[in-house]
Structure 1
Amino acid sequence: MQRVTMKIVCISDTHNQHDQLQLPHSDVLIHAGDFSMRGHVAETQAFLTWFAAQPHPHKIFIAGNHDFIFEKRRKKARAMVPDGVIYLEDEGVTLEGVKFWGSPITPTFFDWAFNRGPATIGSYWDLIPDDTNVLITHGPPFGTLDQVLPEGEHVGCPRLLAALESRLCPKLHVFGHIHEAYGQFVQGGRVSVNASMLNQEYLPVNPPVVVELS
């Protein structure tokens, strides 16, 4: 069944501090990655238990560059995902007529999980279907809510920006990764949300972002 409006709560980069969050009710809860610090089993289990217990009818998450278990121990990690929770890794799901796609991939930065260089990262964005309504990536596109302190340098992915400008038309793009760039930006009918809950000092100071899609 296709609904007229869908209320979505967006969070990201909770880094083991999920218990401190107060989440409003919504139809969908999205976590855009970095639920842990190093992706250990105990961290992952604690997050998944908490996430599954949230009352939102639909719960979707992706991994981030800190969540090593989903890259290094993929079979183990997927087996840990509880019923009622949707994990997306370069794949999609349709909920009540709304098409979601999630990817953990970010540009190479030191030696973190799901890092890809400029020669290969575009192939992951090529997988995203043209008709995606809600795009979830761990990192931002270049130039949108992607500036790091103190210089204000843009560190988002140029290839992801190119895909958004040339082919993709999501109504909502949810990401995190760059803690200090938390916020919303609306352009051309697309709502972009950097939903990082923690600031650059890893303090949980940012509220969840609520978006209502029509």
Structure 2
Amino acid sequence: MTKPIQLRKHSMANYPLRVLSQLEKTHRFDQLPNLKNFPSASRKAISNNKLRIACTSDIFDNMTKLVDSCPPADILIIAGNISRTSKWTDIVKFRKSLDDLPTTYKILVPGSSDYCFNLENLTDEQAKQCERNTIKKELKLLGLKHISQYLNNVIYLQDMGVEIAGVKFYGSPWVSINKTAAFYSSRNEIMKQWNRIPRGIDVLITCQPPLGHGDADYIEEHLGDVDLLAFGMSFNGYTYFVNSAMCTRSYNPSNDFIVFDVPMPDRASKSSPNINYFTGLV
């Protein structure tokens, strides 16, 4: 078992704008070229020694866009917010759409609106919105205990990880900015969730962005988490931050998939990859 990192929460975790102001004075962040003018990795042939990854999030019921726009890839990452209401009928449509996607593996991390994945910890209002009783009834008829079991063609990551062909992925659904989220933890407490992330993760998937990276909002200015800034997708000495939201704030599915390649370790194979699950640290 990997030893916990056990980082301490930032002393100014509740003041993200002040922290960001300080970071901008001492840290350098390079912005990638506009994707519309930058050659997409999806146009290149998929390499035998790299995992082609396509990622999206905030689908909000736009299953036609999901299926029609998904590029060929080894792995599709969906970083939360499948639908707006998280009802049983929404999940049924989502499951059917997954069968039509051109990727070998699908990784799902639940988002703020995905109440169906946390049925036992909902408020009365949340339970009403997702029609919790209906979901429980349908799961019971199928002999299932959790909605992720219904999505049998998905790798579901909730505070856990998976290693595919030597590349390690970890998913965490927690957010500190929205008290009505399916998985909420305050800014003072959320470091407990981040400390569950093991060392050596290649691709970290979260619902909430880190402070200052893809977190700008037209009302709150910056929604990112101060403590999450220590984590990210890292290879070759660099960390890449990706905001993969499909929809705009008006639920218009106008954003394309983000596509990138991750090098595989030596002797790793796509034809017979080792797939190993691992839990988050306690």
* Fold shared by both chains (TM-score > 0.5): yes
Say yes or no: does 1:19 pair with 2:64.
yes
How many equivalent pairs are there?
Answer: 191
Q: What is the alpha-carbon distance in structure 2 between the residues aligned to residue 45 and residue 62 of structure 1?
A: 17
2: distance between equivalents of 1:104 and 1:60?
A: 13
Give distance in 2, aligned partners of 1:26 and 1:171: 20
TM-score (normalizing by structure 1): 0.83
Secondary structure at 1:57's aligned position in 2? strand
Among 128, 145, 150, the residue aligned to 2:214: 145
Residue by residue, what CA displacement relative to the aligned partner does 1:15-56 show, whole Å, maximum 9, x if unpaired? Answer: 000212311101110000000112111111211221243121
SS in 2 for 1:113: coil
| Distance in 2 separating the partners of 1:197 and 1:104 | 17
SS in 1 for 2:103: coil
Query: Which of 115, 118, 134 is residue 203 of structure 2 equivalent to?
Result: 134
Alignment match, 1:36: 83
Q: Which runs of 5+ in 1 are unaligned?
A: 173-186
Deviation at 1:127, TM superposition (A): 0.8
Structure with the largest fraction of strand:
1
The equivalent of 2:252 in structure 1 is 203
Q: Which runs of 5+ in 2 are unaligned?
A: 1-47, 122-144, 264-282
Structure 1 runs of 4+ with >2 Å offset? 73-76, 169-172
CA distance in 2, matches of 1:188, 1:194: 20
In the alignment, residue 88 of structure 2 is paired with which amino acid? Answer: V
Pairwise CA distance, 1:81: 1.6
TM-score (norm 2): 0.64
Question: The residue matched to 1:211 in structure 2 has which SS?
Answer: strand
Identity %: 33
Larger radius of gyration: 2
Quick one: which amino acid aligns to residue 198 of structure 1? C
Q: Secondary structure at the match of 1:53?
A: coil
The structure showing larger relative contact order (alpha-carbon pairs under 8 Å, at least 6 residues apart) is 2
